[in-house]
Amino acid sequence: MILAWKDIRFNFARFVLAVVGLTAILTMSLAMNGLYRGIVHESLVMAAGVGADAWLVQGGRDGPFNDESHVSSLLDRRAEGLFGVKEARRFLSFSFPVSFGSHKQRLSIFALDFPKDKGDRMPLAAGRYLESPHFEMIVDKSTGLALGERIRIGRDDYTVVGVTRGQVDMAGDGLIFVSLPDAQSILNVAPSEAILLARASSRNQTAASAFAAGSRPIMAVILTLEPGAPVDLIREKVASWGDVTMITRAEQIDLVIQGRLRRLRLQILLFVGLMYAISGAIVSLTIFTIVLEKLHAISLLKLIGASDAFISLWILQYGLILGSISYGLAVAISLATFDLFPRAVILEPSDALLAGLALLVVCAFACTFSIRKALSVRAREILS
């Protein structure tokens, strides 16, 4: 016989209120943990999803994602001469305001080193990959652009030839993929007056000459290595050049997670811990209140011979039932609503399982205070 069910039916409204509160807190905990998972996933879309075995970035920098980086647009030619390098592609990405009807939205422009890279490393939901080096683009579905739509970026009109999913930048904004020459043209858009002033100013003569000559640096070079390529030897050779640094794919991912996301990870961890502490307080308060109301009944149970283990099991059952129902509802709500969030919220099965186990431990621990109070009641108190 499970006495906890009898208590739940006896005061069902109080049990429902406790379940609602505990479910809300647990859902928030799952959402925060899922938000962190989503931010990590979105932050690594470019770092891990472009087929890079290594990156060549500006010397002494941890770019291009964790730090600024600018290298020569001819660096890929040097890189292709390295032993063990299968392919070298130029990398450039930046945020740019794009007009959508009557309003503007900042989206990330990702440059594809056409014709080496036509965007075929991305899964398409509709359309095709780039076939021309100019005025074609592939967009992520989150941008709101549709296949065949034309939109002006900078001074030119671009046609959407492909639509993909899940391709976002570190801020969660949808990516627009264009060829590298188009991306450089967009990046160098400037008002005519600014160009004239730069040319007229003797102090900016060097910058004006570079602009006129079409000097357009890139952020990094993506290396694809041959199977079994000597990474350490390639790194030593790159280091001897003096102007660039080589970062492997694993190092780049670690830089993003341990660099830009470190504080966020600690912040979310503290919030999740706080939520579980509040969950424990709710369970403790609910069950302790029940025990205080039933001190007379507990004394009667002891008088007729109920053991301490029987009474402890009753209290523990109540706490575990409360936690289990709240956990089930929280997971159901999470699965039904997380896809509606503006940024990715990823609920991993392992995270959900660990959250359930943690909640059961918290509930069991919270019951100990009520058990101690119940066991302190003496049988003869029923006579007083």
pLDDT digits (tens, 9 = 90+) for 208-237: 444 444 456 789 999 999 998 999 999 999
User: Which of 68, 92, 55, 101 has its CA nearest to residue 254?
Assistant: 55
Q: Give the mean pLDDT of the chain.
A: 83
In one-letter notation, the amino acid at residue 144 is G
The per-residue pLDDT for 359 is 83
User: Which of 61, 53, 90 has its CA nearest to residue 244?
Assistant: 61
Least confident segment among 51-65, 124-138, 297-311, 325-339: 297-311
* Higher per-residue confidence, 199 vs 308: 308
Give yes or no for residue 380 having a pLDDT over 70: no
19-35 per-position pLDDT tens digit: 898 898 889 889 888 88
User: Which of 159, 175, 42 has its CA nearest to residue 109?
Assistant: 175
Task: Read off the tokens for 281.
Answer: 């307080």
Least confident segment among 247-251, 288-292, 350-354: 288-292
d(CA 140, CA 265): 27
Give yes or no for residue 269 having a pLDDT over 90: no
Task: Read off the tokens for 294.
Answer: 């039933």
User: Which of 172, 175, 180 has its CA nearest to residue 162?
Assistant: 175
Q: How confident is the model at residue 273 (pLDDT cuts 50, 70, 90)?
A: confident
69-116 per-position pLDDT tens digit: 889 889 999 999 999 999 999 999 888 888 776 677 778 899 999 988
The CB density around residue 151, as the number of other CB atoms within 10 Å, is 17
User: Which of 247, 218, 253, 257 has its CA nearest to residue 93?
Assistant: 218
142-160 per-position pLDDT tens digit: 888 889 999 888 888 999 9
Q: Are strands 93-100 and 103-112 parallel, antiparallel or unpaired?
A: antiparallel
281-304 per-position pLDDT tens digit: 877 787 788 777 777 777 877 777
Q: Are strands 175-179 and 103-112 parallel, antiparallel or unpaired?
A: parallel
- Cα-based angle 151, 153, 156 (whole degrees, multiple of 5): 85
189-213 per-position pLDDT tens digit: 766 665 566 566 645 555 444 444 4
The per-residue pLDDT for 1 is 46
Q: How confident is the model at residue 341 (pLDDT cuts 50, 70, 90)?
A: confident
Per domain, the residue ranges of the chain are 3-43+263-383, 45-261
- Cα-based angle 259, 120, 250 (whole degrees, multiple of 5): 25
d(CA 279, CA 158): 53
The per-residue pLDDT for 212 is 41
Least confident segment among 81-95, 124-138, 304-318, 324-338: 304-318
Look up tokens 């998972």; give the residue: 37
The per-residue pLDDT for 4 is 67
Give yes or no for residue 14 having a pLDDT over 60: yes
Q: What's the pTM value of the predicted model, to 2 decimals?
A: 0.75
The per-residue pLDDT for 304 is 78
